[in-house]
Structure 1
Amino acid sequence: MADVLTHMFANMSQADSKKDLVVTPPAPSQCSVLIVGEQSLRRSLLLLTAVTAASQMGIRVVFFAPEQIQSLPASLQKCIPKLSPESLKKIRFCYPRTVEELLQQIAGLHESNNTFPTPPSLVIVDRLEDFLCGPACDRYSGCHPGEQSCAAHVAALLCDTATFLTSVLKQQAPTSSPCRIIASYKSQEDGGDSSVSDPVLDALDRYFEVRCTLHQDRSYKATEAGQQEVWHIYFSGTGITHEPCTTDSQVKLALAQEWQLLMFPDGLMEFKLV
């Protein structure tokens, strides 16, 4: 399962249930996650995941985004009010403008200056659609025309980079966890018409073992109080396996394929295991 995401969800779950949630290490084939859904929420989750990984798990993070992040979202500041500047130093933000620059910078993670003294253990790509669904994609000479080909090219390079960085991490510390890849994408299917097929998403799904889908609950029951937004977070894909666990709480989290997110007006986010 996506251990970095579930670690963050568990850490920000209801206080009375935190002690019962245990995140188990991921299998090597369970390290790439594609977050699909609403743009601002995707970015908040990615930034929250990056900060959680750096501050609580102590790992290096590389965060690719199509435009500069001027400030941290209010939700993140609310959820992690005592964020250490030292933790942020473990996160390197990169801002490629085109898919060509994105590919070059991802490939650059193989270089020794990016793996010494410690390679990144988490690579995040925000808003893949901005790189894949525009004229810049067709201008890249190494990528066949068409968004689907660009998607496959970027995803394949991400997977290859994760494999390379994992080998470096294992050389430095045999017991270290593999490098994880998390990317976000807004699908054409998000418009609400289930009959619309998104070939780019189909291509990405062939490379990302786990899809994390965000869906807002607009039912009367969810909104009658008027004090929060309610979102459902669904995990699916070939990377979800039911690994053996030693306690009931581990089984509960290992099998968790749905979470609920409450977003309050003051920016606070609270996760619940469904």
Structure 2
Amino acid sequence: MAGLLLRVLSSFTNGEGRADVPPGWDTGDLGACLLLGEESCGKTSLLFLVAATAAGPGAGRVLYLGPSPVQTLPSPLLRLEPASLRRIQFAYPGSAEGLLEALASLHESPCSLLPSLILLDGLDRYLQESRGQDKAQQAALISALLRDSAAWLSEKLQGDTQCQIIVTLKSLTQEEAALDLGLPMIERYFPVKCVVKEELCELEGVQRYLVSFDGLTKIRGAEGPPTAQSVEDCAWELLYEADNVTKIQRVAREKRECEETEVAWRLGERASD
């Protein structure tokens, strides 16, 4: 969910290992979040940062679902103790039907193995064979079963633990979005979105991404910038080097707007040349 993503980003930003949600942000997001971004923009790396946090000492179990096996253990998981690593289950359904079967079979698992976090990496890849209304129906079926499975798991988990979901999805261009019937269905079940966008980076061998949120609001009366009305006003900058996150820092809205203006100016200069 967005609350867990916020805690992960904030803990890296604080540099003290704290897992605080920035004060004043409403994370009542129904326990699910859509992680959007272009191909190879760090979505999976961010997902594994969340997995490492969620499976840490004294935490719950994590179910990672993806269309293809993870070839090498991601760096965030390398830092986990063996006991924590064993709390992450990897499953690789090869088709949309296989994904639905994997979700439907969760009720057969022993209570001690039930996950409190479901990570689905690459929902778009499960929908790529479908078109038109078929894609919309398939997207709605998978999204609904994810939410239903999380609700059932929340009832079975001990104490007040709620099962959360984070789903990655390749972002679409405006033209693609206008023709895609699956996206509106997905957004109906996942109203909160975390958006990852690649930004210009002048450091050699380093990729820079901006992470912002859409669908969360600031709690009325909470401390913070008086102009901030959504979490999107406060974004995070991620630096990647050799597929590893090397730095995460908060970026104020004013700085983002200045950088966007500078990028537009540079592009204009290149076009005039």
Give the TM-score, by structure 1 length. Answer: 0.77
Other-structure match for 2:91 = 94
- 8 Å CA contact 1:36–1:212 kept in 2: the answer is yes
Match of 1:215 among 193, 197, 204: 197
- 8 Å CA contact 1:2–1:31 kept in 2: the answer is yes
Other-structure match for 2:11 = 11
- 8 Å CA contact 1:229–1:263 kept in 2: the answer is yes
Gaps of 5+ in 2: 252-273
Q: Which has the higher contact order (CA 8 A, sep 6+)?
A: 1
- 8 Å CA contact 1:66–1:96 kept in 2: the answer is yes
Other-structure match for 2:134 = 146
How far is 1:8 from its partner?
Answer: 1.5
For the pair 1:206 / 2:171, whether they are aligned, the reply is: no
Distance 1:42 1:32, change over 3 A: same
Alignment of 1:65-84 (within 5 A): 65-73=66-74, 77=75, 82-84=79-81
**Which aligned segments of 4 or more residues in structure 1 are displaced greater than 6 angstroms?**
none
Amino acid in the other structure paired with 2:250: L
For the pair 1:272 / 2:249, whether they are aligned, the reply is: yes
Distance in 2 of aligned mates of 1:211 and 1:201: 12
For the pair 1:242 / 2:204, whether they are aligned, the reply is: no
Q: Deviations over 1:198-253 (max 9, x none)?
A: 322221111003111111112xxxx234363221112112xx2334798x58x9xx
Provide the secondary structure at the position in 2 that maps to 1:12. helix
For the pair 1:158 / 2:134, whether they are aligned, the reply is: no
Other-structure match for 1:59 = 60
- 8 Å CA contact 2:207–2:241 kept in 1: the answer is yes
- 8 Å CA contact 2:10–2:19 kept in 1: the answer is no
Distance in 2 of aligned mates of 1:120 and 1:103: 16
For the pair 1:186 / 2:170, whether they are aligned, the reply is: yes
Distance in 2 of aligned mates of 1:157 and 1:20: 29
Aligned length: 243
Amino acid in the other structure paired with 1:156: A
How far is 1:66 from its partner?
Answer: 0.4
RMSD between aligned alpha carbons? 3.1
Alignment of 1:246-257 (within 5 A): 256-257=231-232
Distance in 1 of aligned mates of 2:11 and 2:114: 25
How far is 1:89 from its partner?
Answer: 0.5
Give the TM-score, by structure 2 length. Answer: 0.77
Gaps of 5+ in 1: 139-143
Amino acid in the other structure paired with 1:209: P
Distance in 1 of aligned mates of 2:77 and 2:120: 22
Match of 2:236 among 230, 239, 259: 259
